[in-house]
Structure 1
Amino acid sequence: MKLSGKVAVVTGASSGIGAGIAKALAAEGAAVVVNYATSKTGADAVVKAIEAQGGTAVAAQADMSRPEEVVRLFDMAKSEFGRLDILVNNAGVSVFEMASDLTADAFHKQFNLNVLGYFIAVREALKHFDEAGGSIINISSILSTDPYLASSVYSATKGAVDTMTLALARELGPQGVRVNAILPGHTNTPGTDGNFAGELGAKLLAGTPLGRFGEPEDIAPLAVFLASDDARWVTGESIRAAGGVRGVGY
């Protein structure tokens, strides 16, 4: 298995893309810390699914927008498994409102989790990677380059993630740490439930060359690749997994 003996922390892994990635990493032999903020039931279900397939996982609560909780999460991961090799930054929040209506609180809520939360997680992961380095995978979005209407702040957070990914790759490469981003397209998850219905959904589907919306299982194999030695020469990349979507404009 590609990740045998490795330990991964996946944030925001109680459902959706994070859950799909956690399961896929475990299927390739990694022990996985399944982070959640509020949905213990969801995280426990992911752990149970991993264990049912012979994998190793543990659920761990932490609000990734709170630095002190992020520190606790990584200390727990090291205590539980003795090492850390992979970080998948996935926990995020979106508020889609026109600029005239979006509050400062909504602005800070998105940046605190989607950007600061990612950065603090990277900082803490670095404390626990060994001399061999590690792999950091930041889940971004195609909205970083192709924003929806009413997504100005959310899209800006993902643009920040893309830039941070490149900057960190340059900074951390000498330490053997690879940093890459995945930009999912229109993907069916509990967080997007209802977003793809009606006229908007029809437009999004029409603009997807592969003719369907994505599933978490479409994103997870790319994360496995980036976490593994197969991607040992890949760093600083922002890779789209979007069914061919370009130029959303809605």
Structure 2
Amino acid sequence: MTPVTVVTGGGRGIGAATVRRLAAAGHDVVFCYRRDSDAADAVLRDIAAAGRQGHAVRADTTDPDQVVRLFDTAEKLGELTGLVNNAGVTSPIGPFVDLTVTDLRRVVDVNLIGYVLCAQQAARRLRPGGAIVNVSSAAATLGSPGEYVHYAAVKAATDTLTVGLAKELAPRGIRVNCVAPGVVDTEIHTISGVPDRAQRAAGRIPLGRAGRADEIAAAIVWLLGEDASYTTGTVLRVAGGM
């Protein structure tokens, strides 16, 4: 049976790298994106070039109806076998006291509520042998003082979601794990107002550089696969030593 995997936020960054690795590993993939249709089309072309089937769905993961549509689209390719909860946002870097309610609500909505809604759909549809991988952040344990403490707090909630859901779904033979990247060189830093943050951070990373999206994707794909068949409830840190 060909694996069928849903990836949220699959048009760019870690999500796009994950979609490409999954296709290369033999998965059919359905991914969602918010705005950049050109980037989504490029990812679709790479899925096809790998000889796999794929769909790109424009969807907001904070909207329950759009989440259902995303998963319904995936099931047109076959029985769902996996979910990568990746769609996420940050907000402008700055002191905690300057955080606006609008930014706070957006970070919570996308990074937590969106993850819960997608995990619910996956939990309802997955069969024994299925797997969920949530994308968290090393910020969950570092706290991100002076940058975005609220984002770090929400990512800590992602870790807790992973542990609790893993225990709840284990009797059904469904695994739930988490990858916690450190600073990764993607476009997400532009949203935070510091486009060169990955380069600036290199000096405080033990390995001396920011990570690459493909390095995070490799960990995600491993956790979805048979080689990780006895791994559940785990937060795998891929953070260059941070």
Distance 2:114 2:216 in 1: 21
Are 1:71 and 2:68 matched, yes or no?
A: yes
Structure 1 residues 1-12: aligned runs within 5 Å: 5-12=2-9
Once the two structures are TM-superposed, the CA of residue 138 in structure 1 deviates from its matched residue by: 0.3
Once the two structures are TM-superposed, the CA of residue 218 in structure 1 deviates from its matched residue by: 0.8
The answer on whether the counterparts of 2:96 and 2:147 sit within 8 Å (CA) in structure 1 is: yes
Which residue of 1 is the match for residue 220 of structure 2? 223
Which residue of 2 is the match for residue 240 of structure 1? 237
Distance 2:114 2:82 in 1: 16
Q: Normalized against structure 1, the TM-score is what?
A: 0.90
Which residue of 2 is the match for residue 136 of structure 1? 132
Once the two structures are TM-superposed, the CA of residue 196 in structure 1 deviates from its matched residue by: 6.3
- 1:92-119 CA-partner distances (Å, limit 9, x unpaired): 1111332222122211111111001001
Are 1:49 and 2:66 matched, yes or no?
A: no
Which amino acid is the alignment partner of residue 138 of structure 2? I
Distance 1:75 1:86 in 2: 14
Higher mean Cα deviation, 97-106 or 110-119? 97-106
Are 1:197 and 2:207 matched, yes or no?
A: no
Which residue of 2 is the match for residue 145 of structure 1? 141
SS at match of 2:142: coil
SS at match of 2:23: helix
Q: 2:102 aligns with which of 94, 105, 114?
A: 105
Once the two structures are TM-superposed, the CA of residue 34 in structure 1 deviates from its matched residue by: 1.9
The answer on whether the counterparts of 2:199 and 2:209 sit within 8 Å (CA) in structure 1 is: no
Compute the RMSD of aligned alpha carbons. Answer: 1.6
Once the two structures are TM-superposed, the CA of residue 173 in structure 1 deviates from its matched residue by: 0.5
SS at match of 1:222: helix
CA gap 1:93/1:225 in 2 versus in 1, 3 angstroms? same
Which residue of 2 is the match for residue 23 of structure 1? 20
The answer on whether the counterparts of 2:129 and 2:173 sit within 8 Å (CA) in structure 1 is: yes
- 1:18-52 CA-partner distances (Å, limit 9, x unpaired): 00001101100000002112222211110111212
SS at match of 1:33: strand
SS at match of 2:217: helix
The answer on whether the counterparts of 1:195 and 1:201 sit within 8 Å (CA) in structure 2 is: no
The answer on whether the counterparts of 1:34 and 1:46 sit within 8 Å (CA) in structure 2 is: no
Distance 2:189 2:212 in 1: 11
Distance 2:196 2:83 in 1: 33
Question: How many residues matched?
Answer: 238
Question: What are structure 2's unaligned runs of at least 5 residues?
Answer: none
Distance 1:222 1:171 in 2: 23
- 1:191-229 CA-partner distances (Å, limit 9, x unpaired): 12473638x844x21222222211111111111110001
The answer on whether the counterparts of 2:184 and 2:213 sit within 8 Å (CA) in structure 1 is: yes
Distance 1:212 1:93 in 2: 22
Q: 1:84 aligns with which of 66, 80, 84?
A: 80
CA gap 1:213/1:196 in 2 versus in 1, 3 angstroms? farther
The answer on whether the counterparts of 1:22 and 1:32 sit within 8 Å (CA) in structure 2 is: yes
Higher mean Cα deviation, 156-165 or 93-102? 93-102
